[in-house]
Structure 1
Amino acid sequence: MKNVREVATDLLLKIDRSQAYSNLLLNQAIQKNNLSGKDAALLTEIVYGTIQRKNTLDHYLKTFIKKPLNKLEDWVLVLLRLSVYQMVYLDRVPDHAIINEAVVIAKKRGHKGISGLVNGVLRNVQRKGVPSVGSIADHRLQLAIECSHPEWLVGRWIDQFGEERTREMCTVNNTPPSVTARVNRLKHSVEVAIERLKNESVEAEPSKLAPDGIRILSGNLPKSNVYESGALTIQDESSMLVGYALDPQPDDRVLDACAAPGGKTTHLAERMGNQGEITAIDIHEHKVKLIEEQVERLGLTNIETIAMDTRKAAKLFKEETFDRVLLDAPCTGFGVIRRKPDIKWGKQSEDIERIQKVQEELLEAVSRVLKVGGLLVYSTCTIEAEENNSQIERFLDRHPEFEWDGSFSSRMPASVKPYILGTKDELQILPQYFNSDGFYIACLRKTSKKGGDETC
């Protein structure tokens, strides 16, 4: 059986080659290798940490390796990265144990020359220590290396948010996310849910961001009876804010577009008291099944699911069918880097332009099926202005029948009101604000039929 560091080497190599999401492959690896407890925790820490700190680790390694790093065999570079990550950022395992195990793995996978290289590089790191990044003259490059983010992305963020907020964001992105959950108010209050979890050795506290949320301090939430009974849904606190923004009423007909995996869908249903009607659509059939599993676990009955492309919504539904529409649009995901650190290495600036076009098409489609007087909420889990505020401003320029809602702030929790952007009904949460996901929400009202026929 492979040990944890061998599994980590294989896993990181697979992530690099396939550009697959690390969280999915990590869960599969833990199950396949029957890891639990400390071993599962160590594997998770090594894999996420090595991905998060990739270009910082490469900066360190360049000092000790004469040839360009891309001339090394892929697995050798991965092994060196994860070993240096442990030596620099973890303190529970002695350096000599890390080095010895790396050499053993190198001997098994390669030849004597490679094991000698690995041994020599790591012993030099142990003896000399890693180089400082302070000597890097370009301040954007220095920040990118120090906080381990792509230079092009750091540059974009500095232009949008300034250097100080960018540094704060990059720093938070390298910290482990909290486990948070939403309480199903149809079953329990927040206080009762916390008390019942305590009886199962799960410690939790109320969310400071979302009134329906709790933050887990210790314990195994998914294995608790409280969770399994449908009283809780694992969801980030920022994501919960969408439910307050849309504020669906018990007799509303609601469209949840791009709804999978169903966290927001089920929150809307709970807030509607399991009344009214929610149509949840997603393009992927297997993801629609995830929504259905959540609906069944939570005991909800007012949700209909459909596997379809949201861009074809106007063909399936008549114009002005829905009282409220939620479009949680596909995006670059730069707000969830803490949960999926490989996102920052797998994206390029061209991806922002590509996803903008998809978002635009989705907005056009759902705007047609919203009733006059109805509410449209647009949300993303990114912090990119081009996908957020700029996208909505362009939509409003094209659609005079829509305007900013006007009452958005009154529906939102007090914790986020300072971050609502000026007189506009939009909210941009950066990860450092609440140690939650980066998230954007815009709230628009349809005031007339397209073309300017006033009806209200």
Structure 2
Amino acid sequence: MKNVREAAAIVISHLIQQQGSLSTLLSDQFETIPERDKALLQQLCYGTARDYYRLYALAGQFLKQPCDQTDTDVLALVLLGLYQLRDMRIPAHAAISETVSAISALGKPWAKGLINAILRRYQREGADIEKTLALNDASYQFNHPTWMIEKLRHNWPEHWQSLLQNNDVKGPLCLRINALRSSMDQWDAQAQAHSIAYQSGRFSEQAIYLEEATDVHLIPGFDEGLLSIQDEAAQLASPLLKLAPGQRVLDACAAPGGKLCHLLESEAGLSDVIALELNEGRIDRIYQNLERLDLQTRCQVLQADASSLDWWDGQLFDRILLDTPCSGTGVIRRNPDIKILRQNENILHLAKLQLDILENLWQVLKVDGVLVYATCSVFPQENERIIERFCKLHSDAHHDPIEAEWGIERPYGRQLFPQTAGHDGFFYARLIKKA
């Protein structure tokens, strides 16, 4: 079995090299360490990823030259060591010695002296160095890549700083009550019986925020399908569709299935529900959610590309939910590796893909049908500008303004920003197809 810091260094090193996501890399390393170390591994990796740009700026003050691609594991251990000294309750001597010893397991004993010297120097000089960086280094101050800071500053001059700050705060655990089988009153009775402190959502009738995160399997009713994990912003999709009995509904890009399950819970009388997902591995997540909620017989899941029509049977849809692939910049606080993995040039590629999928699915929507376009992005290039461009290209596309208390009204759609104790960042727009 591996040392937990060795495993953490492998995860962070792969992130630096753009080789996999945090969740996938962690899942792989969980198999290599003792059960007792899994929580520590998760804390080390998520914490280091969340503070990556601040830690990287600090490391740059101690390294004479940047580590090359063959030594990203050395850099990873430096970052992990700095994170432990700054943010964890592990005694400093233990954090340093355990981090230094991990480099031998990675086959680079020559770096022991380097890592030890950096971490001990941080102990002596770290406070003064951080004060200087806070005044002179934007990536340290805002803890994001420079391109993202500048893009947010340009797009949201009144909101960019709070956006960056909220990205670095852990999101609360939000649940959705299964309206088919439970209610807010029933949940409240369960919560009181088990002394669970919670707050009701502001914008979704089924949303509840637990004041203290916990293993969901310990929450009464979760394993029985009375509750699901879903952010409150994501719960807004189903009401926007204006579902009614007899409708044929398409959920494009459906994984992991939260919105699919919610719309099935919201309207029991839908005539036909099709869910598309391109990634075979993510389809398993959809089935897991459907089966836990006993909804697997009420929809058909297809492995298919939403930008093509190879899967289509020729029957038009009354409603389409397009939760399109995006940069994920509205959910950075839950997926801090986005700050490391995402690049500025990705946005242009994603915007093209988003428009292509929207163009394709518009063909399978009935006249007077509704399409809801959604992303978990805060960049207008992926959101309102896509809808604006699409409406200008299609005379039968009518933008239906969303009247709501949530988010910020835009010329096209509504934008939500992540809130410290509330919902994630999201964008919604609703289109109606006219003859």
TM-score surpassing 0.5?
yes
Alignment partners' CA distance in 2, 1:72 and 1:309: 37
Q: How does 1:178-257 map to 2 (within 5 A)?
A: 178-197=172-191, 199=193, 202-218=196-212, 219-224=214-219, 226-257=221-252
Shift of 1:50: 0.9
Change beyond 3 A, Cα 1:65–1:134: closer
Change beyond 3 A, Cα 1:136–1:187: closer
CA shift digits 1:282-335 (9 cap, x unpaired): 22333333323322221224312222111223872437x111111110111111
1:143 aligns with 2:138: yes
Alignment partners' CA distance in 2, 1:364 and 1:71: 40
Alignment partners' CA distance in 2, 1:114 and 1:137: 31
The worse-fitting range, judged by mean Cα deviation, of 225-234 and 18-27 is 18-27
Taking only aligned residues, the RMSD between alpha carbons, in angstroms, comes to 2.4
Shift of 1:8: 1.6
1:8 aligns with 2:8: yes
Q: Secondary structure at the match of 1:312?
A: coil
Shift of 1:220: 1.9
Map of 1:438 onto structure 2: 425
Alignment partners' CA distance in 1, 2:257 and 2:173: 17
Gaps of 5+ in 1: 449-456
Is the CA contact 1:260–1:288 (under 8 Å) kept in the aligned structure 2? yes
Q: How does 1:9-88 map to 2 (within 5 A)?
A: 9-17=9-17, 19-36=19-36, 39-70=37-68, 73-88=71-86
Which residue type is aligned with residue 179 of structure 1? L
Q: How does 1:11-410 map to 2 (within 5 A)?
A: 11-17=11-17, 19-36=19-36, 39-70=37-68, 73-90=71-88, 92-110=89-107, 113-130=110-127, 131-132=129-130, 134=132, 142-162=137-157, 165-197=159-191, 199=193, 202-218=196-212, 219-224=214-219, 226-273=221-268, 275-300=270-295, 301-313=297-309, 316-318=312-314, 321-406=316-401, 408-409=402-403
Alignment partners' CA distance in 1, 2:47 and 2:364: 45
Gaps of 5+ in 2: none
Alignment partners' CA distance in 2, 1:213 and 1:291: 20
Alignment partners' CA distance in 1, 2:269 and 2:281: 24
Whichever structure has more helix as a proportion of its residues is 1
Q: Which runs of 4+ in 1 moved over 6 A?
A: none
The worse-fitting range, judged by mean Cα deviation, of 53-62 and 119-128 is 53-62
Change beyond 3 A, Cα 1:434–1:335: same
Q: TM-score scaled to structure 2, two decimals?
A: 0.91
Alignment partners' CA distance in 1, 2:305 and 2:376: 20
Change beyond 3 A, Cα 1:89–1:317: same
Alignment partners' CA distance in 2, 1:191 and 1:81: 47
CA shift digits 1:94-119 (9 cap, x unpaired): 22221122222234445664222222
Shift of 1:136: 7.3
Change beyond 3 A, Cα 1:222–1:198: farther
Shift of 1:338: 1.3
Alignment partners' CA distance in 1, 2:280 and 2:30: 26
The worse-fitting range, judged by mean Cα deviation, of 117-126 and 427-436 is 427-436
Which residue type is aligned with residue 199 of structure 2? E
Alignment partners' CA distance in 2, 1:10 and 1:269: 41
Is the CA contact 1:402–1:446 (under 8 Å) kept in the aligned structure 2? yes
Shift of 1:197: 4.9
Is the CA contact 1:379–1:439 (under 8 Å) kept in the aligned structure 2? yes
Percent of paired sites with the same residue: 32
Alignment partners' CA distance in 2, 1:99 and 1:24: 27
Alignment partners' CA distance in 1, 2:174 and 2:133: 40
Is the CA contact 1:180–1:215 (under 8 Å) kept in the aligned structure 2? yes
Alignment partners' CA distance in 2, 1:324 and 1:183: 23
Change beyond 3 A, Cα 1:312–1:293: same
Alignment partners' CA distance in 2, 1:434 and 1:126: 33
Q: Secondary structure at the match of 2:9?
A: helix
Change beyond 3 A, Cα 1:315–1:340: closer
- Matched positions, count: 432
Which residue type is aligned with residue 392 of structure 1? I
Which residue type is aligned with residue 161 of structure 1? W
Which residue type is aligned with residue 42 of structure 1? L
Q: Secondary structure at the match of 2:373?
A: strand
Which residue type is aligned with residue 386 of structure 1? Q
Is the CA contact 1:53–1:148 (under 8 Å) kept in the aligned structure 2? yes
